[in-house]
């Protein structure tokens, strides 16, 4: 079945025209691509990673081989047909909740929420969900679908007349009274984590910020004392001293504001951005931005990318301090 979209109806009374918005439960676009499912791993030998750059604020429903609904747990990178799969960081609403807002996260480079945005979700009669999805600011991001388990029918009480479904630990019964959805433990008291709580399939885990590690209780964070512990939290070199330790970067890279992570130096000008990367760090790779027409140019020692704030798909985010 091809995707369909219904937006508004017009009622004409006299000389006035009044638009009436339709219920998104009956006015949505179907997402049914098999590669969108969480079980689909990216294989670039069969084609390039995909991107949801066609998604632009409409209402969508996951169906067919794409899955039943968006996953509410962290999805590893290189799944759902792309590099950075997008999952729903929050529980699905009940039918009586109406339209609610939830955070959607993209997983990449070991970070379950490296990029995030706000989407809208509604539970519909019949036990399914619709989502108002925003357009990703960069590629390669894809909104994932997931097949949730059907509960094991179990008997409660006398079992003479009725039976009720029960779900496995870490899941809750959905509005259709048959499907078991993942329970987001992070929504209650941050899962007991002192810093970061990451929801997983039927479970969760606690994480710490840069330069900190979990204690043996698996929930509380503490400072890293030296290079012997997780390389001091440094992304590259860790140098110990009598007063503690410090992180250092290879030539051509600089420490970021967290003093632990090495990054490429970026020069921000009033109307352009310049990036310069040592040739030895690039090797034989060809560098380009999301807009592949914006490519790096080598001068023999460095690969430089210079682009205007109005080109290459640049998004300007003004923040005042």
- 94 and 44 share one domain: yes
DSSP sequence for 176-221 = TSSEEEEP-GGGTGGGG-SSEEEEETTEEEEE--TTEEE-TTSS-E
Cα–Cα distance for residue pair 14/113, rounded to 1 Å? 52
Q: How does DSSP classify residue 94?
A: P
- 42 and 112 share one domain: yes
Q: Tell me: the pLDDT tens digits for 13-53? A: 445 555 567 899 999 999 999 999 999 999 888 888 999 98
pLDDT value for 285: 65
Compute the radius of gyration of the chain from its Cα atoms: 24
Last residue of a domain, one of 150, 169, 194: 150
- 146 and 188 share one domain: no
In the structure encoding, which two tokens stand for residue 179, read together?
A: 């499907």
Do residues 196 and 208 lie in contact, with contact meaning Cβ atoms separated by under 8 Å?
Answer: yes
Of the given ranges (15-19, 62-66, 222-226), which has the lowest mean pLDDT?
Answer: 15-19
Give me the chain's average pLDDT, please. Answer: 82
pLDDT value for 97: 94
Cα separation values, 196 from 31, 87, 141, 157, 204, Å: 32, 17, 23, 41, 11
Do residues 48 and 126 lie in contact, with contact meaning Cβ atoms separated by under 8 Å?
Answer: no
pLDDT value for 4: 40
- 145 and 45 share one domain: yes
In a domain, 156, yes or no: no
Phi and psi angles of residue 12, each rounded to the nearest 5 degrees, phi first: -100, 120
Instruction: Find the mean pLDDT for residues 111-136.
Output: 93
Domain that holds residue 277: 264-320
- 33 and 145 share one domain: yes
In a domain, 125, yes or no: yes
Q: Which residues neighbour 177 within 8 Å (Cβ) at sequence distance 6 or greater?
A: 127, 164, 165
CATH number for the domain that contains residue 215: 2.10.25.10
In a domain, 155, yes or no: no
In the structure encoding, which two tokens stand for residue 43, read together?
A: 């294989």
In the structure encoding, which two tokens stand for residue 128, read together?
A: 């399914």
Of the given ranges (2-6, 230-234, 266-270), which has the lowest mean pLDDT?
Answer: 2-6
List b or e across 200-214, with b for residues whose CB sees 16 or more CB atoms inside 10 angstroms: bebebbbbbeebbeb
- 134 and 211 share one domain: no
Do residues 127 and 175 lie in contact, with contact meaning Cβ atoms separated by under 8 Å?
Answer: yes
pLDDT of 75 over the 90 cut: yes
pLDDT value for 129: 95
- 82 and 145 share one domain: yes
Total domain count, the chain: 3
- 40 and 121 share one domain: yes
In the structure encoding, which two tokens stand for residue 176, read together?
A: 């259709």
Q: How does DSSP classify residue 95?
A: G
Instruction: Find the mean pLDDT for residues 205-225.
Output: 88
In a domain, 93, yes or no: yes
Q: How confident is the model at residue 175 (pLDDT cuts 50, 70, 90)?
A: confident
Q: Tell me: the pLDDT tens digits for 144-166? A: 999 987 765 543 333 344 456 78
Cα–Cα distance for residue pair 267/46, rounded to 1 Å? 37
């Amino acid at each position: 079945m091809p995707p369909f979209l219904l937006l508004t109806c017009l009622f004409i009374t006299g000389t006035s025209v009044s638009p009436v918005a339709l219920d998104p439960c009956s006015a949505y676009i179907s997402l049914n691509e098999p590669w969108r499912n969480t079980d689909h791993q990216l294989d670039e030998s069969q084609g390039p990673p995909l991107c949801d750059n066609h998604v632009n604020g409409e209402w969508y429903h996951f169906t067919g081989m794409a899955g039943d609904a968006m996953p509410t747990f962290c999805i590893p990178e290189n799944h759902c047909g792309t590099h950075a799969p997008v999952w729903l960081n929050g529980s699905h609403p009940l039918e009586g909740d109406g339209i609610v807002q939830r955070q959607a996260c993209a997983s990449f480079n070991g970070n379950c929420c490296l990029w995030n945005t706000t989407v809208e979700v509604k539970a519909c009669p019949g036990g399914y969900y619709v989502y108002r999805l925003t357009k990703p600011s960069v590629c390669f991001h894809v909104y994932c679908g997931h097949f949730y388990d059907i509960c094991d029918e179990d008997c409660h009480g006398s079992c003479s007349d009725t039976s009720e479904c029960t779900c496995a630990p870490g899941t809750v019964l959905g509005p259709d009274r048959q499907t078991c959805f993942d329970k987001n433990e992070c929504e209650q008291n941050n899962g007991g984590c002192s810093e970061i709580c990451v929801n997983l399939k039927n479970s969760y885990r606690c994480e710490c910020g840069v330069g900190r590690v979990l204690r043996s209780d698996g929930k509380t964070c503490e400072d890293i004392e030296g290079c012997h512990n997780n390389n001091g939290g440094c992304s590259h070199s860790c140098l110990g001293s009598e007063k503690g330790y410090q992180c250092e970067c290879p030539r051509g890279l600089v420490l970021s504001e967290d003093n632990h992570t090495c990054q490429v130096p970026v020069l921000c000008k009033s109307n352009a951005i310049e990036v310069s990367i040592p040739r030895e760090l690039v090797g034989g790779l060809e560098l380009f931005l999301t807009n592949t027409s914006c490519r790096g140019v080598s001068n023999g020692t460095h690969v430089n990318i210079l682009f205007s704030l109005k080109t290459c798909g640049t998004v300007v985010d003004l923040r005042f301090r």
